[in-house]
Structure 1
Amino acid sequence: MIDVKYKKGCLHGDADGFSRPEVEGQMAEPLRHNAEHLALNAITRSMTQKTTSVNQNDMSSASSTTGTGSTKQPLMTFDFGIERIREEQKKDINAQQTVKNIRHESSYIIENTVLYKLASRPRARTNLKLIYIPSSMRTEVLASYHDYPTAAHFGSRRTWTKLKDRCYWPKMHGEVESYIRLCEKCAKFNIKRTKTPGKLNPIPLPEGPMELVGMDFWGPTRQEFVNGNKYVLVVTDYLTKFIVAKALPYNTAQTTAQTFVEEFIFNFGVPNRLITDQAVHFNNELMKNVAELISFDHIKATP
């Protein structure tokens, strides 16, 4: 006999046989018999300490190894050590000029004969101390933050964001944009995320009066005039520049259609084409029905 006891769902923190599906076939048997032959890729604490104790200089000077039966191109290596930066700053004309005028340059400091730039950032209480990159090393810096495999060939905005709080040189933002704009891989493989602009469809010029008529609203005015008018509906013939204007209190679809028919069509005839923008008082079912009933082509301009 099986004694079934009720237990609330919130108390079911343990696993039971009813909640586990059965193993199909003999899948579990080989694992049980061959457990002693399984190789585990475990990382012990001592191995982690050995790995993290590797000298950073050795890592920067290391190159990729050649695999069995295949060859790999060596990874790019860069030396951004403080000693090299110090020596390259001594060769940089602009850096040395700044060092000579350091007393008059409040945004620069020198520490251990290395030139730094003091940069202020919003919401920061203190200035950032950015190392000054000499001209001979700037291409390497850009390559390490853009071309290196872990840099992922980001665009100019994200590359600039990664660089601006780490180092400095004059006109750095412009050089970042120029470098990425000339990147061959970005030009070949980067996918445009924006929609490609559509082709323009120019409207043929009218050859006579009433062939092409435009209509648009002016307003609203700051204050109401006679009869509460705040808008002016303007209808213009494109060829003759003849204008019909009507002051209106509203710019609703019904008011627009009624005014266009009564004030323009009844007095001057039906135009061949009417061009408007895509505002709701022009682009609606009522104006569509009026165009079909009176037989003129309603053209809606590209927004």
Structure 2
Amino acid sequence: MLITVEVKSPPENHYVIVPKRNSLPLLISNVMGTGPKCILNIVNDTGLHVKIKKGSCLGYAEPVDEILDDNLSTKDTYSIKQVHLPPGNFFDQKDKPLPDHLQDLYDRSITNLKDDQISTLRSLLIEFEDVFSKHDLDLGCLTAVKHRIDTKDSPPVKHRMRRTPLGFQDVEQEYLTKLLAAGVIQPSTSEWSSAPVLVRKRDGSVRWCVDYRALNDRTVKDCFPLPIIEDYCDCYNAGADVENLPCKGCQYCQRAHTQWSRFLNDVDDVIPLAKRQVSPLEVKIVSVEENPNNQSDESVTSSIQGLQASSFNSADSIDHDMTQPNTEEDTIHINWMQSYSPQQLRQLQLQDPDLFPLIEWIESQYDPSDAELRLQSPATRALRLLGSCLKVIDGVLYYKWINQSERKPCLVVPSSLKSDVLLHCHDSKVAGHLGQQKTLDRVKQSFLWYHLHSDCINYVKSCHICNQNKKAHINPRAALSKFHAGCPMERIHLDILGPFNTSESGNRYVLMMIDQFSKWIEMAALPEQSALLIAQKFVVHFIVTFGCPLEVHTDQGRNFDGNLFKALCEILEIAKTRTTPYHLHQMGRSRDITQLCCK
């Protein structure tokens, strides 16, 4: 494709057009020419539609010192073998002026630079001057990707224009003209329309904010899954030495180690999650070494108990997991139930009427009949169905998994410990108040009891902290919407101001009545905010003067939402509405005017 370009400040004699690097995804040939205009040959091999804005810089004109020519056929036709350019290349921009929009950036950047660095910076700014925007509306144009919004078969969304304040009408028209002239926006006849709102920025200028929420609700979201850190590295254990890991301390493990160290310092009573294990045999050896003298077995035993007791008080020590069988092959793990010994757990299970028969049957290897099972509680019968999975180890009843030797047995929890288990698996600092399913999965890893699922779900549902800080995942029955009044007396807002200092007439409160459309305000003084006085003042000060409105909107105060005021609205055929809980902004301008009046 041949296009005619204009050369600014062309040399007197011949020159060569040298294409600019990284300007456009196009192939531009080197062309020699004279005069202010030249013809370039441009090839688009990308297969995409590329736009060239008017005034774009495509290259630089370098003067020619000498043309080595053998045959001159015509005046304008040359058979050129070689062209000598002056020393340097087209990146040397010392003699070219710096664009005006880059002068401020250049002056601020050369403060601490050397002469050669200043020259390099000047050349770079001139070479890539089109990368920098000249003004706020110079946004550029990217044609490499064509954006599409997939709405499937949804009907078009049409929003009516919001009313522009009188003080903003001239500013909005001026801003609209600038956007049209700069090519940022263009006239459209699409069936889709979203309402813009003109807002003022901190520097005093204005900009448009467009409400695309309705369009976003109908848009099919693109799926760009983020990589999971475990896919890259999962060899880090909290508290472990980073240098001894298989990855030798990659960036993911370094970041995890830093975050864990910061968390360990901030929360001083947290139990480390590192799986550092010490066998009971090693504990005995340490105890013997600490008793070099020939002592009795009782002193050695007391030394072992003292060592274990001291380990319970240390945050970095290894404690015995009382919920697991105490055998030589098992390792000692940290657990919040360290205060319960196997004897205490057995005693609690024997005191539970649901678990006591099971322990007796298993220890005596007795197989109860159907008649005996029917006399037991539902919990006993349900646990009995587990059969050979129930084991008594060290006198404690456990549930042992079938064909899953790597999984540890689950403690069958007595009724007196259920609340403690749920408390530590959900409310503790390590638990973190997880949701219903995650808390249930955590409990099922180590514990078992009858109705575990329902007890865990009900506990999470009744958690005060979760209900106060977490949002519900179930959408409300009806989405909140905005009410736009179209005429005066269509909707009246009522609100109470006070209490104030008692006036000479004995009044302490003010009844405020505002028309939503016209913002007209009427006020009436009240000695108290009773429903009877509010109804009287509303009739005398508003209805008698202006007539009955179509609708009255109030908050959920009992003086407005009681039977008396509802009966008044029903007699006068006025629709009565109220705000939604925890959404006081539905009172509209009345809340703003209330705060203004209180000041």
TM-score (norm 1): 0.44
Identify which of structures 1 and 2 has the higher relative contact order when contacts are C-alpha pairs closer than 8 Å and 6+ apart. Answer: 1
State the TM-score, normalizing by the size of structure 2.
0.25
